[in-house]
Structure 1
């Protein structure tokens, strides 16, 4: 029996060794492809000493700025500036660039796009002219046959992903009111995008909505970034749909798919769990908890403490957003109305409550889930 046990143990060890060896080999191959892609680029954004000048013999196109941008510079200024690589994949790289005048910008470098210079320029001009408090404005863009650069103002507060991760590590607070405000802001920004359909122009969708693509202002108001170019990415490269936890099952660039992604973000805000680092199938986990009638255990401790009674209807709408079938999902306008109802209800409650009433008695613990409370898409 002991011999049989040792054989089983040894076999298991061999299987695990092969599994991790293959996983490491795949990662090394992917990293090598990324590095080769960076080396093959005709335009480099790298850490350069400020006093170094771009060679006068180099020929570049011009940066195209948008109306209202008072701070303008040349592509040579950008390429000669000190830059820190913030992140990269097979389709893009992100740099934090500090100009000689100490202006700080985020520069997105896109690679292997399937689009002509003319079409890309038309789309960027359409996006660059979009102005909304919850949209990250495009400052400028550069376009050549080989390279596309997008320039944004650098957001010092970072992303919503960083905020939620810092909260999970007990490095900061993340109150219910702030979560509700951020959810409302993202929904407002996404609705604004979906409403932009000028005659003769293609409707704008996001295509890659996730926590790391929602940045925060100094007042911690959300700014939606990284939109407008997903449809031009090489469909053969995995980065088009690499955010599997946020991507709708149909893997399409549609408004319904954006709503699915927003539903996942709303679940993250309610549960305090993040999926970009963990790979957790959050919709599946939440639906399983609801089916087992453990709905109250879904919410994060901060939500349970201060906002549980308003969180139930938001959980319901979030689950509708992540329905398996696109036609079962609400529009972002319908989602926004539900969030605004929660905001208004909380404000009314805060206004009507008195010091003699303990708000903890209204944390949702006495609420009952309606019998017809649905869990759309639970078959996934």
Structure 2
């Protein structure tokens, strides 16, 4: 089963990937190292630290605007409940409109009594001010006035992947196979930028369907960087940290020991990719007990090629390339390896997904008709 992974990785593709990496525009992200100091600060000094860091990094590095609470009250009609577009442990997200820029925005007001405190707010502002990639959400600005902690992002018209995949209402058309592969490839590219281009590397630590936002054309962008950590430096193999993230998505070695590497993100990617293939949540207590944990349900099926079709989302109604399904499941299985060292690098995952999402190596769909390229 796992040997299928290599069939996605032609020599030509690997050469293209190598060339792409060597000629890729490099953005100096060394100022990220300043984020490591956040954990050493007391709450009372973190607000000052944010202003000092932004000033020190210079206006050329920081593209985010500073908004007043009044600005954002006007943009959201005084945080009108009718403009509410999301809610979670971090607080509430409102759709707003900035007259000064004539753009729609998503305004995330952090819950002052909630889990996400000053540290997460500072990490998010600094990370998204320094990291820029088409598959990372754009931070328009922030407000740190008094006790308020508010983040302002570009507005993503299609909401989250979770909305279309796992919380799908009767008014939403199921995502087709090509769109799922396109989203998976773009999300993997976002992780690749964090792991391979950011300096030091960034471990996202909270990769899940609700954090993958979609624009009008279903292009994905990673959002919510409050839990992100800088990767190991100085030859260390991992970062030791308290276990954070969402149950079901955490890599086993991270969940059990707190040892975090970029391969922890690769495991989380595998979980979400399997959700995309199957249309199932990683943890679903409404299903029979033997099917409640997606990974446990999938492991025996990975070993029997005759049962691969059982793993395809029924809402696809068989409209997928059979060989494409096999290769997608091979990628997911590789990412979900128990041992971190045996998982692929995210760069290899991107190469394999690029091969799938452009529609090469098409096979006949299950219904017997040749599928057209997207």
TM-score by length of 1: 0.63
Q: What CA RMSD, in Å, does the superposition of the two structures yield over aligned residues?
A: 3.9
User: 1:109 and 1:194, CA in 2 relative to 1: closer, same or farther beyond 3 A?
Assistant: same
Contact 2:318–2:367 (CA<8 Å) still a contact in 1?
no
Q: Counterpart in 2 of 1:328?
A: 342
SS of match in other structure, 1:306: coil
Contact 2:68–2:145 (CA<8 Å) still a contact in 1?
no
| 2:297 alignment partner, one of 285, 290, 311 | 285
Contact 1:134–1:189 (CA<8 Å) still a contact in 2?
yes
The alpha-carbon deviation at position 106 of structure 1 amounts to 2.6
Trace 1:104-119 onto structure 2 (pairs within 5 A).
104-109=105-110, 111=114
Equivalent-residue separation in structure 1 for 2:188 and 2:227 (angstroms): 20
Trace 1:38-117 onto structure 2 (pairs within 5 A).
73-79=67-73, 81=76, 82-83=78-79, 84=81, 86-89=86-89, 92-98=90-96, 101=99, 103-109=104-110, 111=114
Trace 1:1-380 onto structure 2 (pairs within 5 A).
73-79=67-73, 81=76, 82-83=78-79, 84=81, 86-89=86-89, 92-98=90-96, 101=99, 103-109=104-110, 111=114, 121=122, 124-143=125-144, 148-165=149-166, 171-198=172-199, 202-231=200-229, 240-241=244-245, 243-251=246-254, 252-275=259-282, 278=285, 280-291=292-303, 294-301=307-314, 302=316, 304-344=318-358, 346-347=359-360, 349=362, 360-361=367-368
Equivalent-residue separation in structure 2 for 1:221 and 1:123 (angstroms): 21
Q: Which has the larger radius of gyration?
A: 1
- Count of residue pairs brought into register by the alignment: 286
Contact 2:302–2:329 (CA<8 Å) still a contact in 1?
no
Cα deviation digits, residues 89-146 of structure 1 (max 9, x gap) = 2xx21321535748442315165667779xx757733431322221111122344796
Equivalent-residue separation in structure 1 for 2:228 and 2:145 (angstroms): 18
Q: Counterpart in 2 of 1:45?
A: none
Cα deviation digits, residues 22-41 of structure 1 (max 9, x gap) = xxxxxxxxxxxxxxxxxxxx
Structure of greater relative contact order (alpha carbons < 8 Å, 6+ residues apart): 2
Cα deviation digits, residues 168-197 of structure 1 (max 9, x gap) = 857413111111111111111110111233
SS of match in other structure, 1:305: coil
The gaps in structure 2 that reach 5 residues or longer are 1-49, 231-240, 287-291
The alpha-carbon deviation at position 156 of structure 1 amounts to 2.7
The alpha-carbon deviation at position 157 of structure 1 amounts to 1.2
Equivalent-residue separation in structure 1 for 2:159 and 2:181 (angstroms): 19
Q: Counterpart in 2 of 1:20?
A: none
Contact 1:164–1:274 (CA<8 Å) still a contact in 2?
no
